[in-house]
Homo-oligomer: A and B are copies of this chain.
Amino acid sequence: MDGQDRESGTAFLPKFDANGLLTAVVQHHRTGEILMLAHMNAEALAMTRETGRAHFYSRSRQSQWMKGESSGNVLEVREILVDCDQDALILKAEPAGPACHTGARSCFYRRLTDDGLEPVTGG
């Protein structure tokens, strides 16, 4: 297939990168807050679709994992959106707890200023 098919068609033709990965952005399905960003290989995507819970591929650990498998803070996926060139996904999800391993609600808990980083209120 070519780029045109990927952009305008109704076929799901995920474009995995050289490492076999898609980028996935997790967004709270009700509030719209972006909770985290991670990567998925084909298996993590298949497991996510099959179980309804977000699975990712860890580039550092080189293995698949289910979000919340140790913390219990799973992400129940309500909807998956696909971008124009099909190399990125949005997972609209209901989080069972903090999405970030630091305990923050979202991994994006700091804003960039001219002087460095500062906490985002309510993050």
Does A69 make an interface contact (CB < 8 A)? no
- A selection of 5 A-B contacts at a CB cut-off of 8 Å is A11-B117, A12-B116, A25-B25, A79-B111, A90-B108
Does A42 make an interface contact (CB < 8 A)? no
Q: A96: which B residues are within 8 A, CB to CB? A: none
Q: How far is the CB of A107 from the nearest CB of chain B, in Å?
A: 4
Q: Which residues of A contact B (CB under 8 A)?
A: 7-12, 23, 25, 27, 31-34, 36-37, 49, 79-85, 88-90, 100-102, 104, 107-112, 116-118, 120
* Docked complex Cα distance between A25 and B88 (Å): 10
A82/B100 contact (C-beta < 8 A), A11-B117, A32-B33, A34-B34 known: no
Decide if B84 touches A102 in the complex (CB within 8 Å).
yes
Decide if A25 touches B37 in the complex (CB within 8 Å).
yes
A82/B111 contact (C-beta < 8 A), A23-B37, A37-B25 known: yes
A116/B25 contact (C-beta < 8 A), A81-B111, A108-B83, A111-B80 known: no
- Partner pick for A109 among B31, B79, B80, B84, CB 8 A cutoff: B84
* A-B interface, 9 closest residue pairs, ranked by CB to CB distance from nearest: A32-B32, A81-B108, A83-B107, A80-B112, A37-B88, A84-B107, A10-B116, A10-B117, A82-B110
